[in-house]
Amino acid sequence: MTYSDYRTALVTGASTGMGAAIVRRLTEAGLEVYAVARDEERLAALAAETGAIPHVVDLADVDALERELGALEIDVLVNNAGVSATGNVLDASRGVIDAMVDVNLRAVLHLARLLLPGMVERDRGHVVNITSIAGRYNFFGHTAYHATKAALSQVSRQLRNDVLGRRIRVTEICPGRVETEIFGRNLGGTPEAMAEAWATYYEGYESLTTEDIVRTVDFVVAAPGHVNFGLIEVTPTFQVPGGLTFDRREDA
C-alpha cells in the first residue's frame, strides 16, 4: 500500500512547521491534500504554493470539524496539530488546560470518528499521529501536555484494534526536540520571543528539523501495504530521556 494506493490526505496544524512540510511532501507524492489550520493567511500561501485545499478551522470547535471536514473522503490522516505551554499544572489557567485537551486529544478522537468509517468502508487508509517524547517520559513541563500526548499514544494503539481486519494502518511518530515555532509561541509569539526561543532551545544544539519528521512520515506511508509501523521514536542523537531527580529539603 504505497502512495499509489491513496488519493487524498488531510493534515492538521498545516500552516507552519512540520504540518506545512508534510503538506508539501504529500502533494509532491500526488495526493489531493486538505490543509487544516487557523491561520488563514499562511494557509492561503501554502495552498498557492502546493495546490493543497485550505480549511480554516479551529480544531477545538467540534461543530466546525463536522461541518468543514466530516463529509471528506480521506485516505491519509495526519494529526499534527498540537498546543503547548510553559509552566506546570500548579500555575496553569483553565483556558490553557482546556486548549491542550481540545486540540491535542479531543480533536483527534473526533476526526477519527468522522473519517475512519470511510476508510473502513473503502478498505484503505493510514492514520499518522504526531505525539511527543513528553507522552512517554517524565520530565519537567506542563502536566496537561504530557497527559494529552500520553493519551494520544493510547488512542493510536486502540485505533489499530478498532480497524482490525481492514487495510488501515495507524502509526505514532514520537519526536524529541524539533526546530519549530512552538517554544517561541509559548513565550508570546512576538519576533523578540521567537529570537529568545531560538537562542535558548536551538542555538548550538543539533535538534531535529521538520525535514526529519517529513522523511519519517514519507517512510511509513510509502511502506508496503502489509507493513504497519506502530510506533517510531525520533530524537536528536544528543538528546536522551533519562535521569532521576531527588529533591532535598534543607529544612527537613
3-state helix, strand, coil split of the chain in percent (to 5) is 45, 15, 35
From 6, 34, 145, 205, the catalytic residue: 145
Q: Which of 159, 172, 157, 180 is nearest to 83 (CA)?
A: 180
pTM (2 decimals)?
0.92
Q: Is 3 a catalytic residue?
A: no
- Domains, the chain, in order of start with CATH, read 3-234 (3.40.50.720)
Q: Are 213 and 130 in contact (CB under 8 A)?
A: yes
Q: What is the pLDDT along the chain (252 residues), one digit of tens a residue?
A: 578 899 999 999 999 999 999 999 999 999 999 999 999 999 999 999 999 999 999 999 999 999 999 999 999 999 999 998 877 889 899 999 999 999 999 999 999 999 999 999 999 999 999 999 999 998 888 899 999 999 999 999 999 999 999 999 999 999 999 977 776 676 666 777 777 777 776 788 888 999 999 999 999 999 999 999 999 999 999 999 888 888 888 886
How far, in Å, CA of 8 to CA of 31, rounded?
A: 5
